[in-house]
Homo-oligomer: A and B are copies of this chain.
């Protein structure tokens, strides 16, 4: 005898776009925390230390927001964690949040609010996913990268065994609030880095959006906030659409187009001890993969040039010395390992997303090492000409 167990779970969450979300007049957060008709919206708030140091008044503003609404209750003082990738490498930070969930008596009907960059949200999201087998998680992404990409998705994770996101889960947030005001104090490097994910979704999904990016790349780089708000909103929309449209939100298959350019990016981050930021690495990884696509005959020289030019105009690099070993000619075997690690993390057959036109993707299942080397050399030469 066999029991055939079968059921579906519905997931739904809203992604809001706003400014000054912690102005007591802004109703988004209070509505989210009390939307189920709860008498009281109970929450803890975890904030990225990097964000807090550039916006020192934020902590008080958050506490004032909670005080201003009698239907809300802060179960513990606002808690600060270290910002950047370190928060995913140091298991003490994860443990600190789990301990807070315990001591503040956060239950499955209360909320864990994370405010910060993608790394902090990944860690806080994972703590929320596993504490009491899952607590409601509300995200306030605070960088371009997290507002347009990871923050609106369903994944979380921490690093282990020197591998990015080795431990994590698929756990949709309860809500995402993209507060553009949090971007004001971003360093230029972070501002620019986040635009690479917009370029990515444009390349695999939307020619029109690419043309918009191509047209306004320098204005975006030079901190035109209006343009950036459009970039984030459109990118988040395409990212969210992809998650639903692909019919595999929890990635049980082998194809993962949102990871276009990411196999090399993940490895470059790790090989550089995370001195290359994720968004920067994605721009470099995309450059490598489109140069490969060109070498393989998938895209014309013309298209390659347009894309590389746009990446440069966004203020991002298209090349890195780590493409090569010490010889400066042979493709870096340590980087090559990233291809197998990418396959292993995804599971099943190696599946790399390529484009055949701007806005149109397809999958390949192997990469020719010789072509990869040629692609890297082409980028190196262009880069040196450009730099000289």
Residue numbers of A with Cβ under 8 A of B are 1-17, 98-99, 102, 105, 107-110, 129-135, 152, 155, 157, 160-161, 163, 165-170, 172, 233, 236-237, 240, 243-244, 249-252, 254, 343-348
Contacts and interface: CB of A to CB of B under 8 A. Distances in A.
Given A109-B254, A110-B347, A160-B98, A131 B166 contact: yes
A167 to B, nearest CB: 5
Given A98-B160, A98-B161, A133-B157, 7 more contacts: A5-B12, A102-B166, A107-B345, A107-B348, A109-B348, A133-B170, A133-B251
Given A3-B236, A102-B161, A347 B109 contact: yes
Given A105-B344, A134-B170, A11 B14 contact: no
A177 B263 CA distance: 37
B169 A134 contact: yes
Contacts of A166: 98, 102, 131-132
B5 A8 contact: no
A5 B345 contact: no
A133 to B, nearest CB: 5
A118 to B, nearest CB: 15
Contacts of A16: 2
A150 B343 CA distance: 33
Contacts of A244: 5-7
B237 A3 contact: yes
A169 B167 contact: no
Contacts of A157: 133
Contact of A9 (B2, B8, B167): B8
A346 B247 CA distance: 31
A12 B6 contact: yes
11 contacts: A2-B14, A3-B15, A5-B12, A102-B160, A105-B344, A130-B169, A131-B166, A131-B167, A133-B168, A133-B170, A169-B169
A169 B5 contact: no
Contacts of A160: 98, 102
Given A102-B161, A130-B167, A10 B12 contact: no
Given A12-B4, A243-B7, A244-B7, A348 B108 contact: yes
A14 B3 contact: yes
Given A132-B345, A344-B105, A347-B108, A8 B8 contact: yes
B249 A346 contact: no
Contacts of A170: 133-134
Contacts of A240: 3, 5
Contacts of A252: 108
Most buried by B among A3, A167, A348: A3
Contacts of A131: 166-167
A237 B2 CA distance: 10
